[in-house]
Amino acid sequence: MKKSTKVTLTVVAAVGLASCGRSRRDPCDRESFNEMACQDAVHSGGYYYGGSWYPMMYRYPYPYYYDSYRTHVSSGGRVVAVPAGTYARPSGAAGVEHGGFGSTGAGHSSGAGE
């Protein structure tokens, strides 16, 4: 039985991993800014990238990221083109209903964890 031990993490968890190990780009990042996708990401607390959902916490309202992007561009900053459709939500097939879970949580001010 192990009553206490030293943790040996092989990778940095969560955000550290997400930002280092994958080539996805945040739509609110000034270098890969996408107006519609960023608005949706700030609103939803995350974004789709290539069909996968990535939860993110945005500390500021959308205009902050837009202004940051505009400042970046006007000062000659680099912008990376993200292929169209990259941030799209996966399309649903005919005859499939969505949204049947989540309504109770949407009515509460905080998350579902405790």
Judged by the rule CB under 8 A, the positions of this chain that interact with other proteins are 1-18, 44-46, 48, 51-57, 89-90, 92-93, 95-106, 108, 110-114
Output the smallest distance, CB 19 to other proteins, in A: 9
- Residue placing its CB nearer to other proteins in the complex, 55 or 77: 55
Instruction: State the Cα–Cα distance between residues 100 and 111, nearest whole angstrom.
Output: 17
- Residue placing its CB nearer to other proteins in the complex, 77 or 102: 102
Torsion of CA 6, 9, 15, 18, to 10 degrees: -170
If phi > 0 it is left, if psi is from -120 to 50 it is alpha, else beta; for residue 44 that is: alpha
Output the smallest distance, CB 87 to other proteins, in A: 13
- Residue placing its CB nearer to other proteins in the complex, 64 or 79: 64
Output the smallest distance, CB 94 to other proteins, in A: 10
Are the beta carbons of 28 and 38 closer than 8 angstroms?
yes
Facing residues of 49 across strands? 52
